[in-house]
Amino acid sequence: MKHISSMKNITAIALASALSFGANATFMTATSNGGFVMKDAGEFINLDGTVDVDQTNDGTVKHDGIRWGADGDYSSLVLEDFAPDIDALDTNYMLSALTHNNFRIPGPESLWLTMAEILGEISFTSVNSGGIATGFGSAIVADAFTADAMSDFDIDFTETFNTTTIAGCAPVDEDGVAGGDTHTFATNCDDYFDYSIDNPAPLPDTLPFAIPFYIDGGHYALTIFSSFDADGSTVLPPGRIWTEEEKSTTLYTFARLSEIPEPSTLAILALGILGLSLSKRKTEQK
């Protein structure tokens, strides 16, 4: 009976926690605010494709996108940001959409984009107590919900030479790691870009990555990841991004909040299960 009572108490604690968050509905709002801050070719543009009147290219001003090409024919990269309310656990929330509008462009290689930099920023706000924790499972808050998480994304872009047939495309490594498989071209010839990320310590410089949170007495992990799927169903590993000619390809970035059980709660639960198991064995032996 004592073991059953302990299990009831644990269940009551879990229900109380759920009811508490039911009252506040939203765990947090994550506002993405990224933009292109540097490029080596082309023009900065707005979301609607028009040329940005501000062409500052020194890393201090964020722009929605970049276009490059000549004679009215352009390819472009455009970044759109979102501000989702994260009100459910283990659910994908879209933070941004990076679209490569890949079209055949004339002109010399000097007009082609080869490098760009995105400054990404996520602002967290919440009516709940807590914020970014010092570590996973930690109750020490390093930054309250007024804090921002900033990352630098460096893009090395390759505008490939277009050929008359796919067979004429020059072989290129699939994932950017020497010695691996070569890419199977879908068009003549697919473009690609490699990206790297510079996160603030102690976050890893890779995607996906997770941010520890302590919210209203609970431990959570907010995972940031990328996907080609609008629902985030497939998580992309770090590596090279390929885009087909004469198509628009979108790379989505998502946030997903998951709860991390407290070690003490797990220990009590384990003891309760062990106790029930021992009690059952004694009953069977009688």
State the residue for tokens 């900065």: 44
Neighbours of 149 (CB within 10 A): 19
Name the residue among 202, 209, 243, 211 with its Cα closest to residue 225: 209
- Over residues 155-159, the mean pLDDT reads 87
Instruction: Give the CA distances from residue 252 to residues 15, 92, 159, 275, in Å, rounded to whole numbers and listed in that order.
Output: 34, 11, 21, 47
Is residue 23 pLDDT above 50, yes or no? Answer: no
Which of 15-19, 76-80, 108-112, 171-175 ranks highest by mean pLDDT? Answer: 76-80
- Tell me the percentage of the chain whose pLDDT exceeds 90: 53
Spell 14-53 as b/e; 16+ CB within 10 A means b.
eeeeeeebeeeeebbbbbbbbbbbbbebbbbbeeeeeebe
CA distance 237 to 86: 24
Can you give the pLDDT at residue 78? Answer: 97
Neighbours of 181 (CB within 10 A): 9
The string of pLDDT tens digits covering residues 105-130 is 876 777 889 999 999 988 899 999 99
Mean pLDDT of the chain: 83
The string of pLDDT tens digits covering residues 177-210 is 888 889 999 999 999 988 888 888 778 888 899 9
